[in-house]
Structure 1
Amino acid sequence: MTIVQRLMLLVGAAIVSLLALTGINYVQMHKVYETTNFGNINVVPSIQALNRVALEFGRLRVRTYRHVLFNNPEEMATLDKQILQGQGALEKALKDYEALIADDEDRRLLEAERATLAEYEKGNYAILTASRSNRTEEARDLLNKATPLAQKMNKQLEEHMKYNEDLGNKVASEGASAQASATYISMGILVAAGVILGLLSLTTIRSITARIADANQMAGRIAAGDLSAAPARASAHDEIGVLLG
């Protein structure tokens, strides 16, 4: 192998090492970004959406209680309108959450909340019907019967938010692991590249210096008139070997 080929191999090894390090760093950093950014694009919006559901559900319950307490037709009409608007806002909040579903368990929790809400709204319709007809005692009894269902809905929302919090913690842990993995891989590539480049450099330097030493010795013998000895490395096929030959 000629000196030029050795130097080209050395430069090529350095370039390949840099490209490999850059490529692996890009892949690993992209993985770290995706895992850590999941909290911003999914976990936080999911909890915010569930908070909106909980807020609208609480407003629905309060307005229903007020509807039963007040016997003023005008007040009832206003509350009917607010309850209708609140139910629409509640359905919209649940619909918006669909775009944030992370997995099958997340979907199952959402469907369970929808089922509970549908059951609650069915009972709530009976409460409002009795209230509009001034059957106050019946409406209050129905309110009491609806309380466990409302508590179930609130508990489901709390568990769903807790699920998203746990999911966020899991993703954050995966991001930290990916970052550590990226660091270790980068260090491994740097060490391996350093060893390979060091060995190539050492081999090239020793080969060149040894041949130059032979050339100096031969030049000295020729200058002294000694043409009898052939150099040990004259048979090499690199540039200095050709010169020695």
Structure 2
Amino acid sequence: MTKLILGVLGGMGPAATLEFLTRVQAYTPAKKDQDHIRVIADINPEAPDRNGPGTQAGVVLAEMAGGLQGAGAQVLAMPCNTAHAHASLIQRACGLPLIDMIDLGAEAAQRSGAMRAGVLGTKGALKLYREYLAARAMGLVTLPQDSQDAFMETIYRIKAGDRGEEVRLEMQGYAAELKGLGADILIAGCTEAPLVISKGDTRLEMIDPGDLLARRAVGVCMGWEPLPLRQS
């Protein structure tokens, strides 16, 4: 069986990328080395912060995608929710399809039967999820501004390597706050969030788009699922 080569736009942040790669390996049915998927990863922590004003992240991500295409990648995955704002530019730059993790998260929320999804994510990720959920006639529940600011501080602590109990409790608190605001399902819309919170840590059903991305990447590369449509 011919397997497709997966290109990974990573480093946003590095720990989230490594978690994604671990899951790709775990979800691939393999009895020997040769059964696994070939993965070409660009783990580039120097990509500009996707949350800053006037960021040049899209240009850097497009260059990374071109490098992956030149190295032999046939389909792309990017374990960073916020960076999907640049999905069209990335695909135009390299001509490769990108598996859309925002779409996977919104699709899973719709399948659950929920009507209002609470999303833990950056400002940019929340904008994307608002659009994807609205297209499915679903509402978005977000944190109040002060809690959103605190959430971002927690995310940067995780990026700095803190996965201690205090950080875990903070993330659980944000999830509980979304439930109190009317969310009936939770989307972990930042790839750092699932590093400290799991499905058993919240009273809401939790969707992890990074996990869904790993599963879909395996399915596509193994030929079990069709290639995603390339955005123009």
Q: TM-score, normalised by structure 1?
A: 0.22
User: Looking at CA atoms only, which structure, 1 or 2, has the larger radius of gyration?
Assistant: 1
Q: Larger strand proportion, structure 1 or 2?
A: 2
Q: Larger helix proportion, structure 1 or 2?
A: 1
Q: Considering Cα pairs closer than 8 Å and 6+ residues apart, tell me whether 1 or 2 has the greater RCO.
A: 1
Q: TM-score, normalised by structure 2?
A: 0.23
